[in-house]
Structure 1
């Protein structure tokens, strides 16, 4: 039991990394470790890397989600959770190469600039001017070796009152920052992101990459899905979970989620939490059946037949 640990409080050693050998409450470690589930390597990210390998102005991409749950290259909520963890590592190296910003609804150019500043932990008073905010953000970005700017919810600028001005502000940031810009949004082409003079500018500067749920028809597609499941499974911190169990149920997991990454993450994390709560420390088909999923997954998931391989039974 650690020096600051309450009597009767469980603890666990965390293997690997700078904290190896230290003791910490199980509940704290489990919450931290389950957050790693969003850090799975994704084929869409590899596509972006192959499309625009050099972080230079103008080498930009727009990731378009066909499904709400596959926003931001298929990572539902992934960037928000992943970035603080990565930032801590990068800051130790005096670098922060990635900025993640969400475009708020009814955003204005100043609100957008403040969002950039907020990511860096910079606060401004109400009297701060746009040049003050923008110049500070650009100076910090240069000092921390910025390479990639992720702009999520880009569809929020479409049709908004200040959407054109926000688009111009993003373009100005792109000209000032020596970084690749990646926009992520939902059905942006259909909603008119590339329409009009400013839209044609965006179309001329960005490569469009559509994101969709995983397919499962060919052996290659099934292998890709199983690789994703295996990556999520490796992040589990359950004492009695047998590695490879989730991969064995890859068919069932696809049937439940319709190939949507966010839904898969929700399903696995939910089952892991139940496994901790009931002290079984392993994910079983019965636990997976107890986890309700989002409407998009239940709407798009293929019908589950009685004889489907990997089907959970109650």
Structure 2
């Protein structure tokens, strides 16, 4: 089942006897678990009918014994196992999985990794309960995810604001959702979150960031690029060079890839091939006109060289701010 399907069913109080929630992205695992904890049992019933275990300290036999216990003066009980990835011999739960108690809701949080789907244990969970894999979201999917989440808060968000958030916070959905939740307190429903709102409330500069540096380089805007890297050099902790280099490596690699695409006319096809939002295809097309493949290969090699220098390899005394200035100069000239 998808997250949306699971969330819809538990909102209707339609609970399965087993929820095995696994995968690299903790956001959806926490979301499902928190909702079940808050809604499966009335508050008055929780003292006697709600049990929470933690993988590092829990014992499989104790979990099974608790799950097989009948609820006390209630229609069901809730058993939650957090950090189940630390449980020893988790497959010993199979004896319970094969014959679950229908009056128990067993929720197992197995974060940052997944079970082997070929094993009988995993197949039994999928057959007799809910097996959900929460996969890490790709960076190019973040702006759309942010837009969707913002819509759920009855707000809108413009493209630049969503790009700023995704660039600054990466693909950590918990951090992004927390920031958007805070913004929703200060911005009236129905309004649009702008880059100005992001700068004012979260502290991300709308003019001096890696996204704007990428744009400046894509247009060979020497003045703007230098303004940004000068700002970065005075705020090295806030703008670490390794993050800038990684993003620029990805950017210039995509421009190089664009040169060798068979279909360059269809924006959706280009966006899919490059792993970007269709909104930005025009920018990549413009950049490709200014950077021929040979120059792009040279830039990618430069980025690798300066990544090593920033880590002290082949560099004794240069500060990261100076390295970045050198790198951008060589990229533009």
- Per the normalisation by structure 1, the TM-score is 0.43
Higher relative contact order (CA 8 A, sep 6+): 1
